[in-house]
Structure 1
């Protein structure tokens, strides 16, 4: 496995409805609209639902691979082992699959998913939470929240990130740590009583830069989902970090699960490498 520098964000502009949009970009556009206007707590333009989310889920042609889903923000990975230390720190190791990579429930065990090389139009970087020989246990971006899986092979690139994002819900506070030292701290807005921000260990999944004007110039999706909304506006209910123009919301529990951050916080967080750990606690 090749060792690289910490992965940077891959910013993808989201085309407007008037632009000609290729198939891959249409998926990115739809996700961005849902994240910014839906689960992120803007004025909803679609109804929330407790039904199952239907999202893109491709299958590989290899033997057995067609029977398992891709591990993306759109999918549910049945049989994926639960994260056993949802409040635990890591050593910063993150991994990128160079191509579609099988995910197993244990080293040498049953295949439960395929981890694609890209997520939401950018490279897939996931945090390693446990190692056993050449095997790496990583967090997955799929439902249910806290899903993990084991991957191995030569087609993996690794890097280390010194950053951890900590969100303390009761204090409405987000702290950015670099090499275990405070690099920034901000008061934020979190999910409301009926749509709380989910607790646990997750990670920075992607960066979306909507081309059309939205409440936030950047949206940073996480590898976790709303625990009360299975879908929102037709999307998978992905939770994200993003900005908000009305500063009076900071310090309040008013969103549909996303975490609204001040402008300077968003600017700083946009430079944190993909795959960096996000710890959300009570």
Structure 2
């Protein structure tokens, strides 16, 4: 990938500006358990930060309509960039009613990032009866639940990520316009990269930027279809850099999506919010 004309802002300055994601300097193998490669060194978790200025926008706080909307399937037509951030421990139900079975979702991820949930449909009208349907960061992939509208803060990001496995390509769109196109490496035929609608759950600043995962990795609300456990992790899939850029374009990982280190750095520069949609086909 050619060097960008403008230098990347130092990561510490991004933290001081309260960018979107939580950045944790710790072992990626525990989080991104389905990624192949050497183990990065352990480090310490960085402070939790809040949403980036300009990366999300608040939605209307007007009262929701009285009718509960029909459930929808996660996909490009329904995962529109609306993000629900619980104001306390997430209250998630299997159906949009208070007496429906509860779904246990922790308040923070395994790395300490605040739990975010991708909203399905148009959040300005979707909270019928006071509920939002959301994509969950759990198995099975594509699982959904419902959260009370009063229990979350809703924001909207203009960014969506599209991953074409057959074409080995990643595309980032902002307000529907492509702002990045990059070649990727994907999972092998034995451990393929799963398809489906997902979203970003963490941003990790690797303590060994020259290692197998590169300088940064994004966790996804997505898990391997073939690996239920890998090197002590839950088989979570991610997007990360690599120390073998010559393999970009091949099927070489255990499910994760690999970019060049410049490519994953460009994703960080976009200040993508946790909850930004990732659509894999």
- TM-superposed CA distance for 1:178, in Å, is 0.5
More displaced 10-residue stretch of structure 1: 124-133 or 229-238: 124-133
Question: Any conservation in 1 of the 2:94–2:101 contact (CA below 8 Å)?
Answer: yes
Aligned with residue 35 of structure 2, among 30, 40, 48 = 40
From the superposition, tell whether residues 9 and 128 of structure 1 become closer, same or farther in structure 2 (CA, over 3 Å). same
Question: Any conservation in 1 of the 2:187–2:253 contact (CA below 8 Å)?
Answer: yes
From the superposition, tell whether residues 155 and 102 of structure 1 become closer, same or farther in structure 2 (CA, over 3 Å). closer
| Alpha-carbon distance in structure 2 between the residues aligned to 1:137 and 1:157 | 14
Give 3-state SS (helix, strand or coil) of 1:220's partner. strand
- Report the counterpart of residue 22 of structure 1 in structure 2: none
- Report the counterpart of residue 106 of structure 1 in structure 2: 95
Give 3-state SS (helix, strand or coil) of 1:205's partner. strand
| Alpha-carbon distance in structure 1 between the residues aligned to 2:76 and 2:151 | 29
| Alpha-carbon distance in structure 1 between the residues aligned to 2:100 and 2:256 | 33
From the superposition, tell whether residues 44 and 101 of structure 1 become closer, same or farther in structure 2 (CA, over 3 Å). closer
- Report the counterpart of residue 260 of structure 1 in structure 2: 258
TM-score when scaled to structure 2? Answer: 0.73
- Report the counterpart of residue 145 of structure 1 in structure 2: 141
Aligned with residue 172 of structure 1, among 168, 172, 190 = 168
Gaps of 5+ in 2: 1-17, 41-70
| Alpha-carbon distance in structure 1 between the residues aligned to 2:19 and 2:135 | 16
- TM-superposed CA distance for 1:91, in Å, is 3.0
Large movers: runs of 4+ above 6 Å: none
- TM-superposed CA distance for 1:117, in Å, is 2.8
Question: Any conservation in 1 of the 2:85–2:154 contact (CA below 8 Å)?
Answer: yes
Task: Name the structure where strand makes up a greater proportion of residues.
Answer: 1
Aligned with residue 118 of structure 1, among 102, 108, 117 = 108
Give 3-state SS (helix, strand or coil) of 1:103's partner. coil
- Report the counterpart of residue 64 of structure 2 in structure 1: none
| Alpha-carbon distance in structure 1 between the residues aligned to 2:182 and 2:189 | 21
Gaps of 5+ in 1: 1-5, 15-28, 46-81
Question: Any conservation in 2 of the 1:169–1:280 contact (CA below 8 Å)?
Answer: yes
TM-score when scaled to structure 1? Answer: 0.73
- Equivalences, count: 223
Give 3-state SS (helix, strand or coil) of 2:263's partner. helix
| Alpha-carbon distance in structure 2 between the residues aligned to 1:225 and 1:175 | 21
Aligned with residue 240 of structure 1, among 225, 238, 241 = 238
From the superposition, tell whether residues 39 and 7 of structure 1 become closer, same or farther in structure 2 (CA, over 3 Å). same
Question: Any conservation in 1 of the 2:215–2:261 contact (CA below 8 Å)?
Answer: no
- Report the counterpart of residue 185 of structure 1 in structure 2: 181
